[in-house]
Amino acid sequence: MTYSIALIPGDGIGPDVVREAVEVLDAVADKADHTFNYAELLAGGCAIDQTGEPLPPETLEAAKECDAVLLGAVGGPQWETLPGHLRPERALLGLRAGLGVYANLRPAALLPQLKAACPVKDEVLAASNHEGKAAFDLLIVRELTGGLYFGERGRTPDGNAAYDTELYSKAEIERVLRAGYRAAAGRRKKLCVVDKANVLESSRLWREVAAVVSKDYPDIETTYMYVDNCAMQLIRGPGQFDVIVTSNLFGDILSDEASVLTGSIGMLASASLGDPVSGKTMGLYEPIHGSAPDIAGKDLANPLATILSAAMLLRHSFGLEQEAREIEAAVNRVLDAGYRTKDIASRGGDAAAEKIVGTREMGQRVLDALAGKL
């Protein structure tokens, strides 16, 4: 099969990590006899420098023409003083809305090789884990194209007050819930709707819609939790969660919290998905970490989150589950073999057996593992 992938390396370490992910994708393509055609596109700070805008219209148009989009990272200190609508982050919001990728999947699991990096004590982790293990494996499904991020906002005429609006339609709530249920079906079959229904009318609508939609998924357990309690429960007992479905703002906040629990933000991948249309799902795939301008181009960045994002791309946009699993297994073997970029070094296990490597070598080791040489 032939697929087209838009590459948006972006700023900072974005190009460093996307380069490694492309090598991994190419290796998978060779092995499985697929062809991946790439279109490299400009967005973020580098687009501001070259075109004056964070998301040039040509970028969005070209991205829409592709089957999926792989993004590195955007942003950096040199663009931080620009007005809001010209900041690199606008490119992200524009891509999300423009591609219609409303369901943002942010997995957060504790990797056994990096377990010591988790700031929560083993006994606390074990108490909430379904098998009594000091581990957790959860997925936050964040609504990504609505709510406070896209609602009406402004200032009063006298400039003395400002407002943002949380507005959700039943249809927007329903489709992201269904994305959550689809994910839960392939996991531990638990879905928790996180909201603030004790105060917010929009949250009450979320619950109403969930009560109806949940009937279509009788084998999945649906529960409800207020977001403040969820923030607490993520620390007290992350093992209780399987899939969390929540609004744009709550998902933004909770996913940062969950990333800290894993102790290794350099490992976390994400997928943002649109509606499946005749078997194809448009998706925007990116590592959770930022552009880390201080280490850009220095062969220090951890490429694994982007490589794992490429695995999610194969799974969710191309339906290549087998190939996705091979990449994930290869990353696992590389960690088992002791290879660590600096950000994930000395996080437990046998520290003496660790080999500290740079971006390029880490990518190379994943290729070795894919080729059965590790």
Runs of H (alpha helix) within the chain: 14-32, 45-51, 57-65, 89-99, 122-128, 170-185, 201-213, 227-236, 248-262, 304-316, 321-336, 359-370
286 touches Mg ion by CB under 5 A: no
Q: Is 11 a catalytic residue?
A: no
CB of 77 or CB of 154, closer to Mg ion:
77
Which residues in 209-268 contact Mg ion (CB under 5 A)? 252
Which residues in 79-108 contact ligand IPM (CB under 6 A)? 89, 92
What is the distance between the alpha carbons of residues 235 and 245, in angstroms, rounded to a whole number? 18
Looking up tokens 């990449």 gives 327
CB of 16 or CB of 252, closer to Mg ion:
252
Q: Is 242 a catalytic residue?
A: no
Q: Is 196 a catalytic residue?
A: yes
Q: Is 256 a catalytic residue?
A: yes
What is the distance between the alpha carbons of residues 116 and 346, in angstroms, rounded to a whole number? 8
What is the b/e burial string over 154-179, where b = at least 16 CB atoms within 10 angstroms of the residue's CB? eeeeeeeeeeeebebeeebbebbbbb
252 touches ligand IPM by CB under 6 A: yes
Q: How far is the CB of 100 from ligand IPM (least distance, A)?
A: 16
- Among Mg ion, ligand IPM, none, the one that 164 touches (CB under a kind-dependent 5 to 8 A) is none
- Among Mg ion, ligand IPM, none, the one that 92 touches (CB under a kind-dependent 5 to 8 A) is ligand IPM
Q: Looking at 168, 195, 196, 217, which residue is catalytic? A: 196
- Among Mg ion, ligand IPM, none, the one that 89 touches (CB under a kind-dependent 5 to 8 A) is ligand IPM
11 touches ligand IPM by CB under 6 A: no
Q: Is 223 exposed, middle or buried (0-12, 13-18, 19+ CB in 10 A)?
A: middle
368 touches Mg ion by CB under 5 A: no
Q: Are 142 and 179 in contact (CB under 8 A)?
A: no
143 touches Mg ion by CB under 5 A: no
Q: Is 149 a catalytic residue?
A: yes
- DSSP for 137-162? EEEEEEE-SSGGGTS-EEE-TTSS-E
Q: If binding means CB under 6 A, how many residues of this protein chain bind ligand IPM?
A: 3
For Mg ion, the binding residues (CB under 5 A) are 252
What residues make contact with ligand IPM under the rule CB under 6 A? 89, 92, 252
